[in-house]
Structure 1
Amino acid sequence: MANREVKINEFLCFVQNKIDILDDLSVVQICESNFKEIVIENGKSELYGLIPESGRCILRKGEDKKKKDIKDVIKVLKETPTATQPIFVAQDLNLLPPVTFDYIDVTRLLKDIVILKTELQSLRNDTVSKSELKDFETKISADLQNMSSSVQQLDKQQCVLSPIPTPSQKNSPKRLRKGIISDSSDKEKLTQSQRSDGYPSHSRHSQPSQQHTEPVRVPSYRDIALLPSTSAMPTRAPLQANITRQDRNNMHEDSFTLVERKKRNKRNNNMNGTAQQPSKLQVAQLPAIIYVSRLMKTTTVDDIKEHIREMKEDCIQVELLKQNYETSFNSFKVIVDQLKLSTFLCSDFWPTGVKYRRFRDSAAYAKKQLTN
């Protein structure tokens, strides 16, 4: 900011300060009406000279020369960063044109006002008023107070209903965990049983030395859950004796058996011998079949054999193939040694135009020869 140059030019000062507020059409109309053509042309050439990145200054011609020059100035000021632009000031403020409603598009202005009103209304709808916020805080505080009071009441009820063991019950080695009598009908049954046995209802307090009657105990869920496990222990023990050690390792705590995939034995692959020393063991030579086609109708089996002899090779058998339908050429099946297959499948072995390849049923033929 400190290195920016300060230049005096009323035209460039007006354009530089109004392009962020007004649209391009309004700026062009105001400058065209209030500035002379020579002023606009000089301001444009000065701007292009101060900003080298703007490119070449184009000299406009024609009737719309003033408008085109003003548009060029607006384009350069908008595309150039503000930090690299010089500061244009006005020496005579009377030369700066006023911005009146004659140069403003009222329709565009009204449209902007409608957009602002819509955004303001949506902002009001999304916000919460102070009264609503206060009511919400009051409701939350009331709910918290009710919750705390209910928790306190539950704690008091739990303290009242908790049983108080007597000294004889504390010293008993076979004492179980006492339950509580939750129903009034259970209390009445307890008093009736005491009276039928000849003991008054106040005998517990007046005669502590007499026989003490145990209170009625209501079984809990824990007691019920433990009953099957204790009753099934004797019958489960002999069954576990028959389980092997390997099955016990595969047994989890939740009585689930781990199922694992059986490992398959690796396939025995064939291996090839590499000994070079002479031996009585002779390797059997496997035959291979070659398909030879596109030969003249006059070509015979002897011609194929003679050609193979001329190439200083030999074959096992040559057979003329029977065509399923009439063709203009003959095809042959040549049976050779498998070790010489690469020689017979070479392009230099057969004349130009002859088609050759491995016979399609060569694998089945070799398998048949091995079985025989």
Structure 2
Amino acid sequence: MATATKRSDTLMVSEVLAFVQNKLDTMDVISLEQICLTSFKEAELAAAKKLLADTATTAVRLVPRRGDGSMKRDLQDIIRVFQETDPDDIPTYVARDLYKLPPVTFDHVDVTRLLKDIVLLRAEIDEIRGKLEASERASASMQRELSTMRNADAAVAASPPPAREVQAQRVPVTASIATDTVSRRVNDPPPATYAERTRDAACPLRAAAPAPPRPAAAAPSTTRSQQEAAPAPPRPRPRPRRRRRAAPQAAPQVTLAAAGALAAPPRAPRNAAVDKDGFILVEKRSPRRRNRNKRGTAPAACSLKAATPTVDIYVSRIHANMAHDNIMRYVKERSVGRTEQPVQVLAIERLQSAKQTDFKSFRLRVPADQQKVLLDKDFWPAGIVFRRYREAKQTIKSPVTSARV
């Protein structure tokens, strides 16, 4: 399928329009009007305005001006067209006689505007310079803090082991520790938490100080054999829950680490049920959903029928001469063979734009199961814009142009 050529690819000869089209982006309107009024004749401006009206697609009305000041008003209409019209809808104007193009000298330049632009540019440069200096200061401060932290870590690594760790190295490792697991688990104080171990490692003075004695747990009144013989109370059956690997509850053994400290086993969460494989059952509560919608499954009755789900499709960039019947006939004929039955347009509505345009826009309401056909690029001609319709504040609906099938 050949792509549509733009109107801007067309070249037209007009010295007046070529000068205005090229200088409008670099000059202010007042200076441009002054140069054109002093360099071109009234007949040349009128001919240029007529050529622009015949070749450009614009919403600006180019009516002939008469009376005093008509030459200036014609030039203002030409400038307005270039300012308010899409550049793709205006041809590219060129000059055949280059001597007709007026020169731009300092007499036609507003020096005050240039000075204001220089002042604004200087202020922006000063602002960028200030932000750069603040960023450099922040970067230097972060580097100093990073070097301080590295020095502190090096000092902690080079410091001697704490006193309680040295004493732990002298404890003899015997075989009786492994056999006395139950008594040690009951009488020994609970191991230090992760926060306490991190705090002691970060502060050597606190780690070197002897830890205060913790109260020992009370010995159980029953023996181990009595505890094993007593039946365990029945536990409620848990609901299906996610399983997470638990830390093994190994017997506390005295081991010599690289620094000579006792390695504390990790602690399992409180009130955690551990199964025989060593997994912790973690329950994930599902959010409660109330008032759920339900759909009926009974056969369709004659007295009651469900409504067909529908969607709205936005179609734009349609030629101004096209009407509702043209669109509905195109959709019906184009959809033959794409679905089991042709697409049925339930409603069509003309959309009014807040700005004046040379094309039309419509909203089509079709069944939801047939929307894929209308949202296919191969379904619409080149240049047509389409998508799912969404409400916009700028859209003005016209109740008169609505038609239902």
Same fold? TM cut 0.5: no
- When the two structures are superposed, what TM-score results if normalisation uses the length of structure 1? 0.44
- When the two structures are superposed, what TM-score results if normalisation uses the length of structure 2? 0.41
Point out which structure has higher relative CO (alpha carbons under 8 A, 6+ apart): 2
Larger of the two Rg values belongs to structure: 1
Larger fraction in helix: 1
